[in-house]
């Protein structure tokens, strides 16, 4: 993908594509002008001897220490070196790519006081596929994502390590192989690189993109489970949704109706005596619709943040002002990530309840545990236990991270957002839900086949066929671990999004 950074809002659809594949980035003429104008003001400040935080002072509680002009470049390099203290597993390259792209977007707004050369150097890393090795842990989400962004920034200086085509190597080697020179930082440039919410935002965005994959699969699984237990599609009637009025509920019910349209299984029991189905079937529009509403809200917050200027101080060339503020505080991302965690947990919780319903012969009308010769075979008994274990884990992981502030920097930074963990833990939750929904898809497929030769809708029979390509029918006991993993991979690849694409915000905005 080629992307020109100029004056436009970068959309979620573009960011999603940058998460999926390498991106070639170029700075437009207007962006170049804005960057240069703000940099000129920083040069004037240095030449005039005015004291400005982070330009010619120390950082944090050391802000009162004045730095001599001949040490200003050394100051910025020391900032990068001293702050590169991340620990833990490395961020995946596709998330690092998002971090780098959003840092380019922020600097290109022209409020950071850096040279155009610095932004172009960051673009050159992206365009060469050089992805800094960034440890995932070490940020509290204020003043921005300091430690992880220091690891990103170090590669520009030839410090640290980077990956190229999946191979880890010294940063200096990666630069040399691409014909690039390490950069020497000018006043404020280290601070502009390190201040910012790009790591928290990238982790949250990646969670949004994955959540769309999971939510789509959960809708398909829910429709399959509804048909497998001979449930009613009446609760999905548009009139019921319209009188409540929630957009997510209306959208989800529409998707469910379309998925089940034309099912011969449904037609076979329209005159049955069952009055109402359990809530995990009947209330899918209300529950998953609410989760879709959360996802839509989070998308709006993150699209704003992805295009935001979040370093400090900010440079306003038009009014010749350098102002210190707090845009680096990632509270909007933290709260959005915590909100999304609730939705992710609920998607998994509802799916697990449908699995329990499918294996219960008294409620589903299907063979006990979805297998012939029950007793000799245990069927899906333990698969539901696994789903229950994962759903329970997510209850703990859904606890809000944003309420757990710890002061840092000798109490100068006395309230922090914990946005980075808030966003990072979403991926553990999504791993769990992918596996829960994979189990439901396997169980629902088994349930539908018990009704053959009566067929479900053409769409759901197509999904059943796709599942059978990676998981054969369960005729006698065997390990389902590999089957679950293969179906979970289908979910993670976005294979089910085609059935819900019209309602997915990052596919359409």
Percent of residues, the chain, with pLDDT higher than 90? 87
Which tens digits make up the pLDDT trace of 85-112?
Answer: 999 999 999 999 999 999 999 999 999 9
The mean per-residue pLDDT over the stretch 112-132 comes to: 98
Separation of alpha carbons 7 and 371, rounded Å: 59
What is the distance between the alpha carbons of residues 503 and 496, in angstroms, rounded to a whole number? Answer: 13
Write down the pLDDT at residue 233.
92
pLDDT band with cut points at 50, 70 and 90 for residue 362 = very high
CA distance 182 to 467: 50
pLDDT the model gives residue 58: 81
Whether residue 237 contacts residue 370, with contact meaning beta carbons closer than 8 Å, is answered with no
Cα–Cα dist 312/194, whole Å: 10
What pLDDT shows up at residue 352? Answer: 98
d(CA 265, CA 223): 12
Question: Which pLDDT score, from 0 to 100, does residue 405 have?
Answer: 84
Long-range contacts, 356-364 (Cβ 8 Å, 24+): 356/384, 356/388, 357/225, 357/229, 357/278, 357/280, 357/281, 358/225, 358/228, 358/229, 358/440, 358/443, 358/444, 358/446, 358/447, 359/384, 359/443, 363/229, 363/278, 364/228, 364/229, 364/447
Among 4-8, 204-208, 301-305, 487-491, which is the least confidently predicted range?
4-8
2-5 and 24-27 beta bridge pairing: parallel
User: CA-CA distance, 487 to 442, in Å (whole number)?
Assistant: 8
Q: Is the pLDDT of residue 380 over 70?
A: yes
Positions of E strands within 43-170: 87-90, 130-132, 135-137, 161-164, 167-170
Per-residue confidence band for 273, with pLDDT thresholds at 50, 70 and 90: low
- Please tell me which of 7-16, 341-350, 499-508 the model is most confident about, judged by mean pLDDT: 341-350
Rounded to whole angstroms, the Cα distance separating 458 from 314 reads 57
Predicted local confidence at residue 408, as pLDDT: 81
Q: What is d(CA 461, CA 289) in angstroms, rounded to the nearest whole number? A: 24
Q: Two tokens at 173?
A: 């080697």
Provide the phi-psi class of 474: left if phi over 0, else alpha when psi is between -120 and 50, else beta: beta
Query: Phi and psi for 506 in degrees, rounded to 5?
Result: -75, -15
Q: With a cut of 70, say whether residue 275 has pLDDT above it.
A: no
**What is the per-residue pLDDT for 67?**
87
Q: Is 53 a catalytic residue?
A: yes
- Residues 6 or more apart whose CB falls under 8 angstroms from that of 363 comprise 229, 278, 357
Mean pLDDT, the chain, rounded, equals 95
| Separation CA 182–CA 190 (nearest Å) | 14
What would the pLDDT profile of 65-89 be if each residue is shown by its tens digit? 888 888 888 989 999 999 999 999 9
- Residues 6+ away with beta carbon under 8 Å from 381: 359, 369
Q: Is pLDDT at 61 greater than 90 in this prediction?
A: no
Q: Point out the catalytic residue in the list 53, 131, 279, 339.
A: 53
> Per-residue pLDDT tens for 431-484?
999 999 999 999 999 999 999 999 999 999 999 999 999 999 999 999 999 999
Of 122, 117, 112, 119, which Cα lies nearest the Cα of 38?
A: 112
What is the per-residue DSSP string for 450-492?
TTTTS---HHHHHHHHHHHTTS----S----HHHHHHHHHHHH
Give the model's confidence band at 298: pLDDT under 50 very low, under 70 low, under 90 confident, else very high: very high
- Please state the φ and ψ torsions of residue 242, each to the nearest 5 degrees: -65, -35
The structure tokens 């992981």 sit at: 397
Res. 386 pLDDT band, cuts 50 70 90: very high
Nearest to 91 by CA among 204, 227, 238: 204
pLDDT at res. 440: 98
What does the alpha-carbon distance between residue 364 and residue 342 come to, in Å, rounded to a whole number?
Answer: 28
* CA-to-CA separations, 219 to 51, 268, 279, 460, in angstroms, rounded: 58, 22, 15, 11
In Å, what is the CA distance from 112 to each residue of 3, 162, 183, 364? Answer: 21, 25, 17, 61
Specify the 3-state DSSP secondary structure of 420: helix
């Amino acid at each position: 993908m080629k992307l020109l950074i100029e004056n436009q809002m970068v959309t979620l659809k573009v960011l999603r594509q940058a998460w999926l594949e390498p991106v070639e980035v170029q700075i437009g003429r207007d962006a170049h002008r804005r960057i240069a104008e703000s940099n000129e003001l920083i040069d004037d400040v240095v030449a005039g001897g005015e004291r400005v935080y982070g330009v010619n002072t120390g950082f944090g509680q050391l802000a009162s220490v004045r730095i001599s002009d001949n040490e200003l470049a050394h100051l910025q390099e020391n900032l990068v070196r001293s702050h590169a203290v991340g620990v833990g597993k490395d961020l995946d390259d596709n998330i690092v790519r998002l971090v780098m792209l959003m840092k380019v977007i922020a600097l290109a707004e022209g409020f950071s006081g850096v040279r155009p050369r610095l932004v172009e150097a960051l673009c050159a890393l992206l365009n060469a596929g050089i992805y800094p090795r960034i440890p995932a842990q070490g940020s509290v989400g204020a003043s921005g994502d300091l430690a992880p962004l220091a690891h990103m920034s170090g590669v520009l200086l030839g410090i640290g390590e980077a990956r190229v085509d999946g191979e880890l190597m010294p940063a200096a080697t990666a630069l040399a192989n691409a014909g690039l020179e390490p950069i020497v930082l000018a006043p404020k440039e280290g601070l502009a690189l390190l201040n910012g919410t790009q790591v928290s935002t990238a982790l949250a965005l990646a969670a949004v993109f994955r959540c769309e994959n999971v939510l789509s699969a959960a809708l398909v699984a829910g429709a399959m489970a509804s048909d497998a237990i001979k449930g009613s599609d009446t609760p999905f009637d548009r009139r019921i949704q319209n009188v409540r009025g929630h957009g997510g509920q209306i959208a989800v019910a529409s998707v469910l109706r379309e998925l089940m349209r034309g099912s011969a299984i449904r037609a076979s029991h329209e005159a049955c005596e069952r009055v109402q189905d359990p809530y995990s079937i009947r209330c899918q529009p209300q529950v998953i619709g609410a989760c879709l509403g959360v996802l839509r809200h989070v998308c709006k917050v993150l699209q704003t943040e992805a295009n935001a200027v979040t370093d400090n101080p900010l440079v306003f060339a038009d009014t010749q002002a350098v102002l210190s503020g707090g845009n680096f505080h990632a509270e909007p991302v933290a709260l959005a990530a915590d909100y999304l965690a609730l939705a992710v947990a609920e998607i998994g919780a509802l799916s697990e309840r449908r699995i329990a319903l499918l294996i219960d012969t008294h409620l589903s009308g299907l063979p006990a545990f979805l297998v012939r010769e029950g007793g000799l075979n245990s069927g899906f008994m333990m698969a539901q236990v696994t789903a229950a274990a994962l759903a329970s884990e997510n209850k703990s992981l859904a606890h809000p991270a944003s309420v757990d502030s710890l002061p840092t920097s000798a109490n100068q930074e006395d309230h922090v957002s914990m946005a980075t963990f808030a966003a990072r833990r979403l991926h553990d939750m999504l791993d769990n839900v992918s596996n829960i929904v994979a189990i439901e898809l396997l169980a629902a497929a088994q349930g539908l086949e018990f009704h053959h030769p009566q067929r479900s809708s053409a769409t759901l029979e197509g999904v059943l066929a796709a599942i059978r390509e990676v998981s054969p029918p369960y005729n006698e006991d065997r390990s389902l671990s590999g089957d679950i993993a293969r179906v979970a991979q289908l979910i993670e690849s976005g294979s089910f999004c085609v059935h819900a694409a019209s309602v997915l915000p990052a596919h359409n905005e």
